[in-house]
């Protein structure tokens, strides 16, 4: 085939693939536009997993009548004008690609009215071309309705999952937004039913409550850390206490300047802070907002804008780790095992209760079950569950993990107990081993 320049329609379809991969990415772009328009309330409706219909309605600043058509042109944006602006982006969108990309792979109807205007304007775009523009009554704000998504891109349709699975991705997306923008009220309707709603009162814990339920939200620990001076980094959010963990990392939400991001480095920093607090293969639940001067973050890495680059990555990493670590330590100070307790001539056996200082949730002695009312001395074998030994401290204590938490076993006491029980058993069988005491006189 000879080299040819692609038709604008085909070029638009190819470019659209980078921005809109599935229904959830359409929702992401439309909600970001609503947020950039300063909306206080955003409602999303989807049908057929978003393939049949996606509608996003906001109460934001709207689009003036003369601009509604331009909004659908590629690289048309009201958010940046000069190359320098790229260095300090404060809006979620800036590439001017979302509306044209969505319109290239679906049928879009946009109805918008800036609060100052008397009426609204409707524009319909099909297959990337404007087919209708007309004045139309509208509440203040903007509504975008997307129908027949990917109908003209069969190759893309093949990669999508079931409507329920796509809907669940949309819901996860809305959760992210609610956690990133607690001051905005979100509502999601799936197949005619309200699937999610956030209060929009501005409180992060309340936003967490709408996503993860009030019980979980109540237990989360507050993180607050601010670096002084210019070029400051501010870390704020809620993280799970050590006794609340998850089997996957999908409960970790990181926001940089209100933008939800995916960052392996920062996720690692967060998990590092939990070292010693969580078991292997368990992960925290966390909603952490990082705020830093916009000039220090590069969001123009990929069209989906999920990745960012930091000018001072190491400092950001350290701030996040320190902030989370101090929240955890303040909640449950790490017990310090001082080697001075143990002398060279032989270990002094400090009472186990002393060793447990600093672990507020575990006041019980090593051989009794936490919370159990059975006396340790009477029937210990029934009380002590099977333990997983983690290690040994100064050849004096065995550190173990059981269903109730951490156990410190005084190994000398345990050994005496084993001998004692062996003797008792022999007594029951009436065949005790006898050993004569030997006295030597001289
Ligand atoms: P970008 O968000 O990168 O600027 P988009 O294609 O998403 O590009 O949108 C193009 C323009 O349309 C935006 O810059 C904005 O001016 C306008 N726009 C889109 N959606 C809305 C909305 N919900 N409210 C107000 N203006 C909007
Ligand atoms: Mg946009």
- Looking at the CA of residue 97, tell me the nearest atom of ligand 1: 6
- Please state the φ and ψ torsions of residue 238, each to the nearest 5 degrees: -130, 135
Same domain membership, residue 328 and residue 346: no
Residues 110 and 188 in one domain: yes
Do 81 and 142 lie in one domain? The reply is: yes
- Same structural domain, 267 and 150: no
| CA 29 to ligand 2 center in whole angstroms | 5
Please indicate, yes or no, whether residues 329 and 358 belong to a single structural domain of this protein: no
- In this structure, is residue 131 part of a structural domain? yes
Nearest Cα residue to 241 out of 275, 269, 205, 278? 278
- Predicted pLDDT of residue 364: 37
* Domain extent for 386: 340-429
pLDDT at 99 over 90: yes
CATH of the domain at 259: 3.30.230.10
Task: Give, in order, the Cα–Cα distances in Å from 416 to each of 366, 386, 432.
Answer: 14, 19, 17
Among 158, 209, 149, residue whose Cα is nearest residue 16: 149
- The tens digit of pLDDT for each residue in 227-251 reads 776 568 999 999 999 999 999 999 9
**Cα gap 431→439, rounded to integer Å:** 25
Q: Where are the beta strands (DSSP E) in 137-242?
A: 141-147, 185-190, 193-197, 221-226, 234-239
Per-residue pLDDT band for 24 (boundaries 50, 70, 90) equals: very high
Q: Are strands 185-190 and 193-197 parallel, antiparallel or unpaired?
A: antiparallel
Given a cut of 80, whether residue 145 has pLDDT beyond it is yes
Nearest CA, atom 25, ligand 1: 62
Q: Is residue 436 part of a domain?
A: no
Same domain, 385 and 290: no
What does the block give as tokens for 329? 């330590």
Domain count, the chain: 3
Whether 131 and 32 map to the same domain: the answer is: yes
User: 269 and 363, same structural domain?
Assistant: no
Is the residue at 260 inside a domain? yes
> Residue 215 falls within a domain, yes or no?
no
Say if 238 falls within a structural domain.
yes
* CATH number of the domain encompassing residue 413: 3.30.1540
From the CA of 142, give the closest atom in ligand 1: 23
Last residue of a domain, one of 333, 359, 382: 333
- The CATH number for 179's domain is 3.30.565.10
Structure tokens at 395: 């050849």
Residue 360 and residue 353 in contact, taking contact as beta carbons nearer than 8 Å? no
| Last-in-domain residue among 270, 300, 333 | 333
Q: Assign 346 a pLDDT band (cuts: 50, 70, 90).
A: very low
The tens digit of pLDDT for each residue in 176-210 reads 999 999 999 999 999 999 999 999 999 999 999 99
Q: Same domain for 297 and 169?
A: no
Q: Is residue 177 part of a domain?
A: yes
- In the predicted structure, residue 138 carries a pLDDT above the cut 80: yes
Report the pLDDT value the prediction gives residue 304, as an integer from 0 to 100.
66
- Whether the predicted pLDDT of 28 surpasses 90: yes
pLDDT value, residue 231: 63
Residue 219: predicted pLDDT: 96
Average pLDDT of the segment spanning 342-371: 40
Averaged pLDDT for residues 405-419: 82
pLDDT for res 430 = 76
Confidence (pLDDT) at 196 = 98
Same domain, 163 and 288: no
Q: Which pLDDT belongs to residue 302?
A: 72
Q: For residue 377, name the pLDDT band (cuts at 50, 70, 90).
A: very low
Compute the average pLDDT of residues 31-54: 97
Please provide the average confidence, as pLDDT, over all residues in the chain: 84
Of 333, 354, 373, the position where a domain reaches its end is 333
308-325 pLDDT, tens digit per residue, is 889 999 999 999 999 999
- What is the pLDDT averaged over residues 269-286? 93
Instruction: Judge whether 438 lies within some domain.
Output: no
Nearest CA to ligand 1 atom 23: 34
Pocket residues: Cβ below 6 A from ligand 1:
29, 33-34, 37, 58, 60-63, 71, 76-79, 93-99, 142
Residue 186 in domain = yes
Those residues whose beta carbon sits under 5 angstroms from the ion ligand 2 are 33, 93, 98
* Cβ contact 133:121 at 8 Å: yes
Is 176 in the same domain as 244? Answer: no
Q: Whose CA is nearest to atom 21 of ligand 1?
A: 33
What is the rounded CA–CA span in Å between residue 402 and residue 421?
Answer: 22
With beta carbons less than 8 A apart as the criterion, state whether 367 and 414 touch: yes
User: Do residue 162 and residue 279 come from a single domain?
Assistant: no
The pLDDT value recorded for residue 411 is: 79
pLDDT tier for residue 407 given thresholds of 50, 70 and 90: confident
Gap from CA of 42 to ligand 1 centroid (Å):
15
Which ligand is nearest to the Cα of residue 81, counting in written order?
1
* pLDDT of residue 356 exceeding 50: no
């Amino acid at each position: 085939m000879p080299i040819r320049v692609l038709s604008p329609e085909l070029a638009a379809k190819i470019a659209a693939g980078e921005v809109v991969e599935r229904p959830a990415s359409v929702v992401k772009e439309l909600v970001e536009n609503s947020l950039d328009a300063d909306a206080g309330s955003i409602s999303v409706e989807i049908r057929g997993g978003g393939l049949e219909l996606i509608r996003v309605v906001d109460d934001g600043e709207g689009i003036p009548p003369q601009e509604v058509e331009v909004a659908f042109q590629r690289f048309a944006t009201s958010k940046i004008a000069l190359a320098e602006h790229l260095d300090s982006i404060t809006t979620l969108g800036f590439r001017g690609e979302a509306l044209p990309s969505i319109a290239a792979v679906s049928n879009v109807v946009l109805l918008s009215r800036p609060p100052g205007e008397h009426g609204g304007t409707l524009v319909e775009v099909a297959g990337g071309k404007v087919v209708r523009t007309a004045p139309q009554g509208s509440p203040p704000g903007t509504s975008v309705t997307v129908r027949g998504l990917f109908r003209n891109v069969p190759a893309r349709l093949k990669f999508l999952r079931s409507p329920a699975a796509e809907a669940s991705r949309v819901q996860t997306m809305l959760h992210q937004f609610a956690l990133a923008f607690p001051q905005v009220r979100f509502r999601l309707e799936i197949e005619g039913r309200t699937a999610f709603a956030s209060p929009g009162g501005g409180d992060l814990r309340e936003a967490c409550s709408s996503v993860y339920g009030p019980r979980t939200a109540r237990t989360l620990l507050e993180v607050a850390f601010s670096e002084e001076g210019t070029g400051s980094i501010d870390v704020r959010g809620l993280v799970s206490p050590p006794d609340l963990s998850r089997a996957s990392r999908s409960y970790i939400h990181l926001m940089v300047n209100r933008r939800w991001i995916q960052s392996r480095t920062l996720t690692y920093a967060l998990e590092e802070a939990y070292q010693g607090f969580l078991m292997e293969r368990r992960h925290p639940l966390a909603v952490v907002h990082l705020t830093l001067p916009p000039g220090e973050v590069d969001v123009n890495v990929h069209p989906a804008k999920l990745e960012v680059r930091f000018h001072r990555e190491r400092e950001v990493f350290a701030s996040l780790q320190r902030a989370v670590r101090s929240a955890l330590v303040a909640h449950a100070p790490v017990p310090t095992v001082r080697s001075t307790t143990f002398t060279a001539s032989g270990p002094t056996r400090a009472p186990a209760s002393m060793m447990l200082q600093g672990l507020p949730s575990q006041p019980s002695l090593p051989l009794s079950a936490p919370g159990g009312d059975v006396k340790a001395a009477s029937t210990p074998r029934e009380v002590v569950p099977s333990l997983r030994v983690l290690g040994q401290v100064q050849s004096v204590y065995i550190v173990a993990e059981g269903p109730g938490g951490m156990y410190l076993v005084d190994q000398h006491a345990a050994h005496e107990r084993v001998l004692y029980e062996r003797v008792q058993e022999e007594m029951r069988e009436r065949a005790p081993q006898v050993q004569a005491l030997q006295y030597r006189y001289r």
